[in-house]
Amino acid sequence: MVEADQLHVRTLGDCRIESPLGALVARQGTTQHYVDESDRVLLDDTVALLSARGGMPVDRLPSFEPGGPRKRIFFDPSKIRVGIVTCGGLCPGLNDVIRGLVLELTSHYGVTRIIGFRNGYQGLIARYGRSLVELTPRQVEGINEYGGTILGTSRGNQDPEEIVDCLEQLGVNILFVIGGDGSMRGALKIAEVVRGRDRRIAVVGVPKTIDNDIPFIEQSFGFQTAFAKATESIRAAHVEATAQPGGIGLVQLMGRHCGFIACYAALANNDADYVLIPEIPVVLDGPDGFLEHLRRRVVTRGHAMVVVAEGAGQDYLQHEPLRVDASGNRRLGDFGYYLRHRIQDHFAAAGDEANLKYIDPSYLIRSVPANPYDSVYCLRLAHAAVHAAMAGRTEMVVGRWRGRFVHVPIPLAVASRNQVDPDGDLWMSVLEATGQPPSFKAQSVTPV
Ligand code: F6P
């Protein structure tokens, strides 16, 4: 259970400078669509969750600091230098966020010195020799039309002491890190070194992952674009499957630890008969296992459509050597490929025809430009990040909770992972749409 203290956001000091946006927010108080800076956004939003707090006084209830512009800020915009870095795997919308940060900093706050670091944290480490990019409104014009990131990226963290050396040498006052959970752990280490050296450098994150697995951000940017792109593969596989006797469409989608992309893409088409995700262990063999269930369905209904998240069924690939990437993530075995052969073998052993069409769109779904919804979202996250940093907030990421922009301390944002809840309403919708059993069991349950 998250407690109030875990939601406390660190600040570099008092906000004594009149914000250039002060006039815009002067008349605003809390409304249904805006949260005043002195107000808080409650963590819990149901009667049951609040009751579980045992009648705690309102000011002790866990709550987030709201995002948005402040009347007074910490940094003098005319004196500061800002750095931006994009880290980890690609995600639709990275360029939108970069552009949003630059335009908000320059147009509204009047910051004139912004630099981009190339190729993730490597860009802050001398031995890599990466050049800096001067980021101006002109430089970022139109970049949101393209996938990827104009700054480039890389996986893996670097020595935080060396990174802070670099920030000090360049006179950077605010560092924006656009990255996933691993990069945010790196950002936290950087902020800790900054604190240890008693420097006034704000470290603010914009959480990025197409997998949608960062907590306290209802949907991460790029997720919607990614699953929308994934629906094209499902549609193609479904068309193929319905055209042939014993037709089986099998689509594998990204999702290392969670099945959000698989669930949403499957629901969008509403053609999937099975969705396999890492959160729900799958049993392939036995009379009530997945393979036999699938065979019965194809024999009786003529075809079937299977959507699988890449992190599913990894138990079946344990024999593969354990490998990790530069971010420390375990490299997954190719479950889609394995499943394809298991399905074909199972049908062959039963003497049934199987025409299996396998599609793995892989990076196709994350290298595309953001769709309009994600573009809007990226821009608003960028605005919230700039407001937070200018107000001296640090060691935090911008989040979105119950539809409102909030500040989330990095330690909390990296402490857990957002996953599809097997008892939640998303998985229920998947079960309703597919008609698949809640789980596949090894053995038939013998009635007593
Ligand atoms: O972390 C997001 C993600 O899209 C995962 O779903 C996927 O396993 C991984 O990135 C692959 O990225 P890369 O090949 O760049 O390490």
* Interval between CA 89 and ligand 1 midpoint (Å): 6
The owner of tokens 């998947």 is: 430
Q: Per-residue confidence of the chain (448 residues) as pLDDT tens digits? A: 899 999 999 999 999 999 999 888 888 889 888 899 999 999 999 999 999 999 899 989 999 999 999 999 999 999 999 999 999 999 999 999 999 999 999 999 999 999 999 999 999 999 999 999 999 999 999 999 999 999 999 999 999 999 999 999 999 999 999 999 999 999 999 999 999 999 999 999 999 999 999 999 989 999 999 999 999 999 999 999 999 999 999 999 999 999 999 999 999 999 999 999 999 999 999 999 999 999 999 999 999 999 999 999 999 997 667 777 776 777 788 999 999 999 999 999 999 999 999 999 999 999 999 999 999 999 999 999 999 999 999 999 999 999 999 999 999 999 999 999 999 999 999 999 999 999 887 654 444 4
Check residue 366 and give its pLDDT: 97
Catalytic residue status for 211: yes
Residue 5: how many other CB atoms lie within 10 Å: 9
Radius of gyration (C-alpha) of the chain in whole angstroms = 24
Q: What share of the chain is helix, strand, coil (3-state, %, to 5)?
A: 40, 20, 45
> 4 is written with which tokens?
């109030």
Which whole-number Å values give the CA distances from 118 to 104, 177, 257, in the listed order?
21, 12, 28
Identify the bridge partners of residue 352 per DSSP, sorted by sequence position: none
Determine which one of 44, 96, 181, 211 is catalytic: 211
Phi, psi of 331 (to 5 degrees): -75, 125
Nearest atom within ligand 1 for CA of residue 254: 6
The pLDDT, as a whole number, for residue 34 is 87
Kind of pairing, strands 17-18 and 63-66?
unpaired
pTM of the model as a whole: 0.95
Q: Is the CB of 256 under 6 A from ligand 1?
A: yes
pLDDT, residue 443, reads 53
Give one word for 84, left, alpha or beta, with left for phi > 0 and alpha for psi -120 to 50: beta
Could you tell which of 91, 277, 329 is best to mutate to test the pocket of ligand 1, judged by most ligand atoms within 8 Å of the CB?
A: 329
DSSP-derived 3-state class of residue 222: coil
Measured from the Cβ of residue 317, the count of other Cβ atoms closer than 10 Å reads 13
Task: Pull the structure tokens for residue 50.
Answer: 């609040």
Instruction: Please name the residue whose Cα sits nearest to atom 14 of ligand 1.
Output: 89
pLDDT attached to residue 447: 46
CA pair distance 183, 165, nearest whole angstrom: 18
